[in-house]
Amino acid sequence: MIYVPSRMGQLNRRALLRQLQKLGVASRAELAKALGMSQPTAGKIVDELLAVEVLEEIEVVETNGAEANLRGRPGRKLQLNHSQSRLLAIQLGMQETTVAALALGIPDADQWHFTFALEKGETNPARVWEKSLRAAASKIGDHNFLGVLLSVPGIVDETANKILFSPNIHWTEKADLAQIVRRVWNVPVLLVQEERALALGHHLANPDCDDFLLVDFGEGVGGAIIMDGKPLANPLPISGEIGHTPVLANRRKCGCGAIGCMETLVSLRGLLESFSEATGNKKGSWAQLGEYISANGIEPWLAHSLDAAAVAIAGALNVLGLRRVVVTGSLTELPPSVLAHLSRAVSNGSMWAKFGAVECVAAPRRRTAGLIAVGIDRLIVPDTHPKISPSVKSAPKNRRAKLVR
């Protein structure tokens, strides 16, 4: 029969993989020591994960200072599998969808292999989207994926694999995206709220950053909260919808149906609309906006928008008891004075800043890293028992035998 690990066994596997994510490369002995685990137990887990090609062994030449120690054989160490694409990532945006085949090693930066767009006013976007996915599949090829991680905006019930509400992509509320993807790639499909993926990716890239509010600016404005190194757990499938904080006297209509949401001022479209109103440049581009700010500084119309965002962010920090804000997305592409103004305004509204330091830092989007983290947690070592992990189910027969007792 297939070996089904106990709950403690699964927790040990999750802990070992998370530790290896932090270390990057480690020996069996180093992993055992870091986890306070016996070497035989750690070795057994490693052997099982090697058998299903989640881990791989590499040769590492030990160094002594600046001089390489070339005597004897190189040491054998472990890392997450960098050699094979085991997961497929899909990012669904308002207009564009991007697709990438991913190894399990954490990438230095997001790299998408295929991009396609939906035309505005498309009468059957779900069908066109599926057709485009099939075209992407033919180019990506067959990699024996363990599963697909689909990054989506809006309010997402990840347990039910369903988008409940998507202010900017309403057609997804009625479409069974997971079923559409399964018709293209017949493997497990997980929907992941996009800001949650970004927050997990930032934490993986910065493992010492355990508590923060991530705010992503782009087509909309969304947030995600990491506490004690984990996403904040909520009784409802909603978190970080900071962009839908109402701003007094703002009369712009939001995609959510409300009037005056903060994201109508500081999203890509919102800032360009304000830029156009302030300068009379009806076709101003994002690059032109950046040049204008460099030349003219933070004018009142821009300060108003940034201050509105800062009020919502500072309010969230005060409620959550956090002092660190990580800003990703479009605002980080503008001159540094923009983030500096936002940072000062956040500090002015934060209670912690009265007697401590509040951090507001820019960071790159690490979406694929976050999706890999979700894939490892929910596909490779899911916290369920006695259900068999999909990674075991999908292992080649000659490798499954190594997990049989």
For residues 226 and 326, give the distance between their C-alpha atoms in angstroms, rounded to a whole number.
Answer: 11
Strand (E) or helix (H) holding 116: strand 114-117
Q: Helix, strand, or coil here: 87?
A: strand
The answer to whether the beta carbons of residues 281 and 275 sit under 8 Å apart is yes
| Residue 135 pLDDT greater than 80, yes or no | yes
Written as six digits, the tokens of 271 are 């800032």
Q: Assess if CATH 3.30.420.40 describes domain 87-197.
A: yes
Residue reference for tokens 């950053």: 209
pLDDT of 323-381, one tens digit each?
999 999 999 999 999 999 999 999 999 999 999 999 999 999 999 999 999 999 999 88
| Residue 96 pLDDT greater than 60, yes or no | yes
Domains 87-197 and 208-362 belong to one CATH topology: yes
| Residue 403 pLDDT greater than 70, yes or no | no
pLDDT of 156-175, one tens digit each?
999 999 999 999 999 999 99
For residues 115 and 133, give the distance between their C-alpha atoms in angstroms, rounded to a whole number.
Answer: 10
Q: How far is CA 140 from the centre of its chain?
A: 21
**According to the model, what pLDDT value does residue 63 have?**
59
Mean pLDDT of the chain: 88
The pTM of this model reads 0.87
For residues 371 and 131, give the distance between their C-alpha atoms in angstroms, rounded to a whole number.
Answer: 23
| Residue 228 pLDDT greater than 80, yes or no | yes
- Read off the amino acid at residue 240: G
pLDDT of 53-76, one tens digit each?
899 999 876 655 544 444 555 668
| Residue 287 pLDDT greater than 60, yes or no | yes
C-alpha distances in Å from residue 213, one per residue of 131, 199, 216, 324, 325: 37, 8, 10, 6, 5
Q: Percent of the chain, pLDDT > 90?
A: 73
**DSSP states along 66-86:** TEE--SSPPEEEEEE--SS--
pLDDT of 230-250, one tens digit each?
999 888 988 889 999 999 999
**According to the model, what pLDDT value does residue 381 have?**
85
Give residue 394's pLDDT band: very low, low, confident or very high (50, 70, 90).
Answer: very low
- CA 364-370-375 angle, to 5 degrees, is 160
Which CATH class for the 208-362 domain?
Answer: alpha beta
**DSSP states along 300-352:** HHHHHHHHHHHHHHHHHHHHHT--EEEEEEGGGGS-HHHHHHHHHHHHHH-SG
For residues 401 and 396, give the distance between their C-alpha atoms in angstroms, rounded to a whole number.
Answer: 9
What are the structural domain ranges in the chain? 87-197, 208-362
Sheet with 87-92: strands ordered across: 114-117, 96-102, 87-92, 147-152, 189-193
Written as six digits, the tokens of 99 are 């697709």
Q: Picking from 74-83, 176-185, 235-244, which range would have the lowest pLDDT averaged per residue? A: 74-83
| Residue 390 pLDDT greater than 50, yes or no | no
Residue 121: partners with Cβ closer than 8 Å, 6 or more residues away: none
**According to the model, what pLDDT value does residue 60 have?**
77
